[in-house]
Amino acid sequence: AQSVTQLDSHVSVSEGTPVLLRCNYSSSYSPSLFWYVQHPNKGLQLLLKYTSAATLVKGINGFEAEFKKSETSFHLTKPSAHMSDAAEYFCVVSDKSNDYKLSFGAGTTVTVRA
Amino acid sequence: GAGVSQSPSNKVTEKGKDVELRCDPISGHTALYWYRQSLGQGLEFLIYFQGNSAPDKSGLPSDRFSAERTGGSVSTLTIQRTQQEDSAVYLCASSRLAIYHGELFFGEGSRLTVL
């Protein structure tokens, strides 16, 4: 079975400072991992994905994530937060043990202070 | 259309009424998912359609919930005899590839409020 744990339900940062959103996963097989972002009253949008290629993955809007198999982690980072980064972020895992269905984390709400 | 389209965007109904939520996926996407997002919670899988295969209905919470996908395109999620606990945002997503390799494209959701 697969599962995802997002370690922080809320993260608050000042504009221009780094953002770190933590995600740990559990998977019986080589997983695919994703980060999605959801702005208020909008659908989810893919930020980036890992599918067994390079372990450091770059996404849109300056975000990146590093797949660390030894730590079963897939943390999301951005060097400098922007006001527009205020949103909810979901870490997601998929693997063949569950017929490729996605398992979503509970989400991390990011607020950005001016 | 360019993206996944869902309707209605908002629906307020009375307890005990039936509701239908519609999803129009991106053209050519063979996989279609329905998820439910309740306040302060993550996404709960409801049902998955892939091409002409039998749908995976394992996430439907009760027999009041059903979904169909006509012609491999538009999907309708039906909730019969709605209850207050059905209040949530219902999200539809589609994908061109097996999700293991691809990404899901989400609609903006249908917000259901049961009074």
For the stretch A10-59, pLDDT in tens is 999 999 999 999 999 998 778 889 999 999 888 899 999 998 778 999 99
DSSP string for residues in A13-56: EETTS-EEE-EEEE-SSPPEEEEEEE-TTS-EEEEEEESSS-SE
Rounded distance, CA A53 to CA B100, Å? 13
The half-sphere exposure of B91 on its side-chain side, counting CA atoms within 13 A, is 21
**Would you state the pLDDT for residue B16?**
97
DSSP string for residues in B64-97: TEEEEESTTS-EEEEE-S--GGG-EEEEEEEESS
**Would you state the pLDDT for residue B89?**
94
Q: Indicate the length of chain A as a whole number.
A: 114
**Would you state the pLDDT for residue A99?**
61
Q: Which of A44, A45, A100 sits opposite B99 (nearest CB)?
A: A100
Mean pLDDT, chain A, rounded, equals 91
A7 in B contact zone (CB under 8 Å): no
Across A41-50, B30-39, B82-91, B97-106, least confident range: B97-106
For the stretch B42-73, pLDDT in tens is 789 999 998 888 888 989 999 999 999 988 78
**Would you state the pLDDT for residue B63?**
96
Helix (H/G/I), strand (E/B), else coil: A58 = strand
Q: Are strands B105-106 and B88-95 parallel, antiparallel or unpaired?
A: antiparallel
Helical H segments across chain B, by residue range: none
- As given in the structure block, the two tokens for residue B109 are 């959701």
A60 in B contact zone (CB under 8 Å): no
Mean pLDDT, chain B, rounded, equals 90
Give Rg (Cα) of chain A.
Answer: 14
For the stretch A64-88, pLDDT in tens is 999 999 999 999 999 999 999 999 9
With an 8 Å Cβ cutoff, are A100 and B56 in contact?
no
Residue B100 has pLDDT above 70, yes or no: no
With an 8 Å Cβ cutoff, are B100 and A34 in contact?
no
With an 8 Å Cβ cutoff, are A49 and B43 in contact?
no
A101 in B contact zone (CB under 8 Å): yes
- As given in the structure block, the two tokens for residue A63 are 């975000």
B30 in A contact zone (CB under 8 Å): no
